[in-house]
Structure 1
Amino acid sequence: MSSKTNRGIFQIGDVLNNTYRIDKVLGLGGTSEVYRAKSEISGRVVAVKALRTEFSRDEAFLALMTREEEMREIRHDAIVRYYDNQRTDDGHVYLVMDYVDGPGLDRKLKDGGMSAEDLLIVARRVAEGLVAAHRKNIVHRDLSPDNIILRDGDPNDAVIIDFGIAKDTNPGAETIVGNEFAGKYAYAAPEQLSGQTDARADIYALGALLLSTFRGKKPNIGNNLMDVVKIKAQPLDTNGVPEPLKSLIDRMTTPDRAHRLQTAQAVLDALAPADAPDDDRTVVVRRIAPDPTPEAPTVTQAPVAPAETTPPSAAPPKRRGIVPILAVLAVAAMGAGAYVSGALDGLFGPRYPVVDPYTLVVSRAENEQPLAVGHVPSESARDALDSLVGQSGGTTELTLATGDIPSSWDADVLRLVDAVSHLPDWRVHADAQRVQISGLTYDKTEQDTLTAALTDGEIKGALDVVARIDLGPRFLDPQTLAPILQAHQNCGDLQVMDAPLTGYPNGGQVVVAGRLESAATRDSLSDQLTEAIGDRSLALEVDILNPTLCLIDGVLPNVPEAGVGIDFKNGADGALNATGDFYVGQNPVIEVIVPPEMTEGYLFVSALDVSGNVFHLLPNLFMTDNSLADLRAGREGDLRLRVAHSAADGQDGSKLAFLVDDTSLGKTKIIVIHSDRQIFDGLRPTTESAGGYADALAQRLGSLNSLDSRILTTLER
């Protein structure tokens, strides 16, 4: 039994949009898959990135794909060339981009690392690409060794790929996406943990991945988020890295982004030879501002001209009005001091810094402790979250802050968190007024009622809530279905077809194939599997036989067919019955057509009916000789043997004939076995029980060359 593979969105040989023929799978991820394809028109080789079915209608994922498509505006050899998004007729969304053939830095890392000299070349090349991207205000946010490919293995031809960070909902995934954080913990800049991302985050990530690729070892980021925060606050250990790579990495990965190399162009300048002409150097002008958090400095390609001085003949500035201005400043200073000291809290409330975006993520992965990270507007909200998370042994990293949020924000968010906190796996992501909630339950009723309550009920308060509660598990291990299959196996093995190595995701399809002896068994199997697989569809590709057929099939070996034909005719008029359906009172005539190449050995023909009886059509008391040589008697070509005759021909008792009655309606299987020698010790009775025949088959003397079969169905009018 065959079933279309369920391992990928596209199959080798598929042609997309009448243009791109898929010829290789490059990678299968949790949300998307990447393929190599060739244009049928131009012959150009491209890469195709496709969203999985369950994400192709999700606006958030489509937005990320669109973000990658916008990268086509950037033309630089160090950045993969993007083309456009397309959608197939069945709804799959895919993005076409250049195919970059060569190893990624992740492969170099696994193979033991790269030399400092080659990595300096890679650093220059990637920095050049980042200059082009940052000029368009596009920050990668997820630079890591697997996102840099060495075309043809050449460090001089490094290419940055994957500018669209895919949202990963897999439990334990290292990449988090949203306004609060994007990037892999191992290479992310410290400020990304609190949602602050600009071009300097890419500078940090590039330095971190250069260090890892040199050492041939992934960074140590600890075992939990608290470890990550502590480790990220420390400078990277560059001991043993040769100069000038060491100093470059140190300057790129300073934890405080204000003291880091500020632009990709600054990285290029740091890589420039010391004797480069001044006109070729980039001058960094640091802007002095009262804001204690320095912004990324302005970069210009020209030398800075000396500041102009006031000509000696210029009149000195007048001092009129300076006293009133100082008085105003003094009053302002007194007010600011009172505000900062808290003396005015009674009038204005507590003073917290204003943040934008205003985010809070409270989550718990299955079998893990909960975690709360982000902003809260009050001490009471902070204390409530500390208590809720702490009761389950979790941790919090909460910052008191002011933002553009409804006045009931803290109470509304706390209600939402409380509503899902009993689930085994859940996540509440508040981005100002918008809240995204995901969760997992093993109860279908709870899935429906909780989804409705979160999105339509009063529980959401003033917030805009989008909720998705999955029916678990999120990834179904095919082995968990084995007990159900074993309990229903009454006609050979039942098998799960093309099960994904990582398990079935929610929204996937479970295909079970095999044979069963009754429709009642199939219905029971369907009910139990449907309950067990949760938010997945079920396809049962099973044949319903009968107990007799199942018993015999259990002892027959898996031998090939030989092309022996089986024809059914109506005994009354000799007309061909193409369907094999016969009604009560009708007389089936059965003929076996032996192909020309089958000239030696022995033929065995039997009918296995629904009542548990086996009728031996050849050999039997009416036709004792089943030798092919004797049956052919020198005739060549197709040999047509009638093994069940019309009622008229069987009236004299010399031939076997049947009439359909209402005692054994259902499927009868006609089987034709070809063997080199006799397989039974003596002649079998014309009619015997299925059990007796099964025992005889199990002890057969000869080996079987082939087995052909066809179903004859008896019906009531």
Structure 2
Amino acid sequence: MSSDQRRLADRYVLDAPIGRGGMGEVWRATDTVLGRQVAVKTIDLGRVTDESAAARFEREARVTAALSHPNVVTVHDTGVEGDTAYLVMELLPGPSLADRLQEGPLPVEDVVEVGRQVASALDAAHARGLVHRDIKPGNIVAAADGRVRVVDFGITQLGEAGAEQALTATHTVMGTAEYLAPEQATGGRVDGRADLYALGCVLFALLTGEPPFRGATPVATMMQHAHDPVPDVRTLRPDTPAWLAALVTSLLAKDPDDRPAGAAGVLESLESRTAPGGVAGAAAAAGAGATAVLQASGAEPTQRLAVGAPPPYVPAPVATPPPAGPGRPPERRRGSSGPLWVLVLVALLALGLLAWKLFGDTATPVATPSSTPSSSAPATSSAPAPTTQAPPPSSTPTPTPTPSATADPGQAVTDARAALLDEVRALQQEGTLDKDAQKTFDAAGRDIDKALRDRDAGALRTARDKLVQDYTKAVQDGKIPQDAASRLDPLVQSLSDAVDAYQG
């Protein structure tokens, strides 16, 4: 053993770091007693100012060791030596799904298989009252036996309220922004359905190469989860089977009550290849012309993982969905041809009559909106203006007023930049933010000032984009703590909005 290698419990030799997470550092290590390679996760208790972090680490060891499942990482040992707490786990060869996504979307069959294994792990965890709260591609890793393992239960929340509740208090946001359920993004109490939402985000990302929502900042992403409509996965991945698209949409429901009731139901859908509710082939979500993708046999699907070179995809047999019978509720269809054409024809006739009424009568001309009001057409009507009227037409509607809407856009950028830098310096003086992070913000501030002086909108956006990129990476890497990020996120977003409004 070299002099710079550490040994824990007089047994585990830490060879090299292989990753970092919100709860510590992960090392490739050697178990000198059993002579095998292991992964050791460590946390320096001497540097932890939040007492609950150490308690969460201890709980991770306890709950993960108690959860024996082929799709959950195996825990071998745990302990505390001096100021170092450690967790000894099986060493996974990888890659993680996050690594695999660097190569692009996965074959549909691999997505189904990965989803099946993760749903099985979640079903086992939820049955014990455990909520993972950070399901994402980086926490799903290929194991040596050909399966995938769910790792990092470091921010797990026990499903039932009790002594653990103080460790996962309401209004505390934990997890990764791109995979947070709406109720989790707003800091509310969550249950297993938050993990199902995250699984929906993972399936969406595996099918399309990107998560369903990604904003300029973590807080913008969380707000998209909470308010923006769910994208249709088939728009980005047309070969997605209808039943799988329906499952992903149901998992991404904003209201937890509208999602599948449990991981067991999701697992059943993935194994039987049916949409939620048991409609074979998800004909209900696919429209009249959709076909149902049925499993070729009753056997368990062949295990093909989203790592390495996937086997060629062979389409399964297809079948036309059965007609609705007396005991079958009518299906909601998007592609129904007969009634839809009637409605379209009626709508066209109505529009034609309306257009004739408005534009065919030359005695009463109707003013049409214009992007530039005419200065040579004074108002001639003596009638009072209506109390409510449509806003002036705009190519880009502004849902929420911003300082740039009522003030000089350049001044709005300056004000937003100053507010952000003031908060950064306040955090640095409090000891919450280190000097390196402050230097990043100061450098971005100088770039923004120069772009404003040059009245260069392109350079201003480039400076903003670099600031957002550096800021987001610092938050994800843990260099900017979560409590500091909660104060900085709104200010970064305000600056980004002001830059968008600036025209030079």
Normalising by structure 2, we get a TM-score of: 0.50
Cα pair distance change 1:160/1:505, threshold 3 Å:
closer
Cα pair distance change 1:228/1:505, threshold 3 Å:
closer
Cα pair distance change 1:45/1:471, threshold 3 Å:
closer
| SS of aligned partner of 2:132 | coil
Partners of 2:259 and 2:432 lie apart in 1 by 43
1:258 — aligned with what? 257
Partners of 2:479 and 2:225 lie apart in 1 by 33
1:440 — aligned with what? 427
Q: Report the residue type matching 2:148 in the other structure.
A: A
Partners of 2:45 and 2:273 lie apart in 1 by 54
Structure 1 residue aligned with 2:66, among 59, 64, 73? 73
1:166-315 correspondence to structure 2 within 5 Å: 179-180=170-171, 181-194=173-186, 195-224=188-217, 225-226=219-220, 228-233=222-227, 234-239=229-234, 240-243=238-241, 244-273=243-272
Partners of 1:109 and 1:22 lie apart in 2 by 29
Q: Is the 8 A contact 2:116 2:271 kept in 1?
A: no
Cα pair distance change 1:12/1:37, threshold 3 Å:
farther
Residue 13 (structure 1) shift:
3.2
1:267-666 correspondence to structure 2 within 5 Å: 267-273=266-272, 424-425=423-424, 440-442=427-429, 469-470=431-432, 472-473=434-435, 475=437
1:161 — aligned with what? 151
Q: Is the 8 A contact 2:23 2:57 kept in 1?
A: no
Residue 272 (structure 1) shift:
3.2
Q: Is the 8 A contact 2:22 2:478 kept in 1?
A: no
Q: Report the residue type matching 1:261 in the other structure.
A: P
Cα pair distance change 1:11/1:184, threshold 3 Å:
farther
Q: Is the 8 A contact 2:213 2:224 kept in 1?
A: no
Structure 1, unaligned runs of 5 or more: 1-9, 167-176, 276-391, 395-420, 427-438, 448-468, 481-500, 507-717
Larger C-alpha radius of gyration, 1 or 2? 1
Instruction: Please list the CA deviations of residues 256-287 of structure 1 after superposition, one character each: whole Å capped at 9, or x if unmatched.
Output: 22111110001112123379xxxxxxxxxxxx
Residue 67 (structure 1) shift:
1.9
Q: Is the 8 A contact 1:143 1:206 kept in 2?
A: yes
Q: Is the 8 A contact 2:23 2:154 kept in 1?
A: no
Partners of 2:479 and 2:3 lie apart in 1 by 19
Q: Is the 8 A contact 1:476 1:505 kept in 2?
A: no
Cα pair distance change 1:186/1:78, threshold 3 Å:
same
1:416 — aligned with what? none
1:128 — aligned with what? 120
Q: Which has the higher strand share?
A: 1
Q: Is the 8 A contact 2:74 2:89 kept in 1?
A: yes
Q: Report the residue type matching 1:440 in the other structure.
A: L
Residue 223 (structure 1) shift:
2.2
Q: Is the 8 A contact 1:207 1:249 kept in 2?
A: yes
Q: Report the residue type matching 2:272 in the other structure.
A: P
1:117 — aligned with what? 109
Cα pair distance change 1:15/1:211, threshold 3 Å:
same
> Higher RCO, 1 or 2 (CA under 8 Å, sep at least 6)?
2
**Mapped pair 1:137 → 2:129:** yes
Instruction: Please list the CA deviations of residues 236-260 of structure 1 after superposition, one character each: whole Å capped at 9, or x if unmatched.
Output: 3312251142222122222222111
Q: Report the residue type matching 1:136 in the other structure.
A: R
Partners of 2:221 and 2:124 lie apart in 1 by 35
Residue 188 (structure 1) shift:
1.0
Cα pair distance change 1:118/1:441, threshold 3 Å:
closer
| SS of aligned partner of 1:85 | strand
**Mapped pair 1:15 → 2:10:** no
Cα pair distance change 1:60/1:264, threshold 3 Å:
same
Cα pair distance change 1:21/1:208, threshold 3 Å:
same
Residue 68 (structure 1) shift:
0.5
Q: Is the 8 A contact 2:39 2:91 kept in 1?
A: yes
2:140 — aligned with what? 148
Partners of 2:31 and 2:76 lie apart in 1 by 13
Partners of 1:271 and 1:31 lie apart in 2 by 32
Q: Is the 8 A contact 2:179 2:201 kept in 1?
A: yes
2:75 — aligned with what? 82
| SS of aligned partner of 1:179 | coil
Please identify, of 100-109 and 234-243, the stretch whose mean Cα deviation from structure 2 is larger. Answer: 234-243
| SS of aligned partner of 2:231 | coil
Q: Is the 8 A contact 2:181 2:225 kept in 1?
A: no
Structure 2, unaligned runs of 5 or more: 157-167, 275-414, 443-472, 481-504
Q: Report the residue type matching 2:245 in the other structure.
A: K
Cα pair distance change 1:472/1:115, threshold 3 Å:
closer
Partners of 2:478 and 2:225 lie apart in 1 by 35
Moved over 6 A (4+): 501-506
Q: Is the 8 A contact 2:28 2:38 kept in 1?
A: yes
Residue 60 (structure 1) shift:
1.5
Residue 206 (structure 1) shift:
0.6
Residue 476 (structure 1) shift:
7.5
Q: Is the 8 A contact 1:33 1:52 kept in 2?
A: no
Q: Report the residue type matching 2:70 in the other structure.
A: D
Q: Which has the higher helix share?
A: 2
Query: What is the percentage of aligned positions where both structures have the same residue?
Result: 30
Q: Is the 8 A contact 1:144 1:187 kept in 2?
A: yes
Q: Is the 8 A contact 2:107 2:207 kept in 1?
A: yes
Q: Report the residue type matching 2:170 in the other structure.
A: N
Instruction: Please list the CA deviations of residues 437-475 of structure 1 after superposition, one character each: whole Å capped at 9, or x if unmatched.
Output: xx6244xxxx5xxxxxxxxxxxxxxxxxxxxx4475264
Q: Report the residue type matching 1:158 in the other structure.
A: V
Q: Is the 8 A contact 2:78 2:86 kept in 1?
A: yes
Partners of 1:153 and 1:115 lie apart in 2 by 21
Q: Please give the root-mean-square deviation of Cα atoms over the aligned residues, in Å.
A: 3.7
Residue 83 (structure 1) shift:
4.1
| SS of aligned partner of 1:101 | coil
Cα pair distance change 1:59/1:84, threshold 3 Å:
farther
Partners of 1:67 and 1:261 lie apart in 2 by 28
Partners of 1:64 and 1:55 lie apart in 2 by 15
Residue 57 (structure 1) shift:
6.5
| SS of aligned partner of 1:249 | helix
Q: Is the 8 A contact 1:110 1:217 kept in 2?
A: no
Q: Is the 8 A contact 1:103 1:152 kept in 2?
A: no
Cα pair distance change 1:68/1:504, threshold 3 Å:
closer
Q: Report the residue type matching 2:68 in the other structure.
A: R
| SS of aligned partner of 1:35 | strand
1:543 — aligned with what? none
Partners of 1:246 and 1:11 lie apart in 2 by 55
Partners of 2:33 and 2:205 lie apart in 1 by 42
Q: Is the 8 A contact 1:100 1:151 kept in 2?
A: yes
| SS of aligned partner of 1:183 | coil
| SS of aligned partner of 1:440 | helix
Residue 504 (structure 1) shift:
12
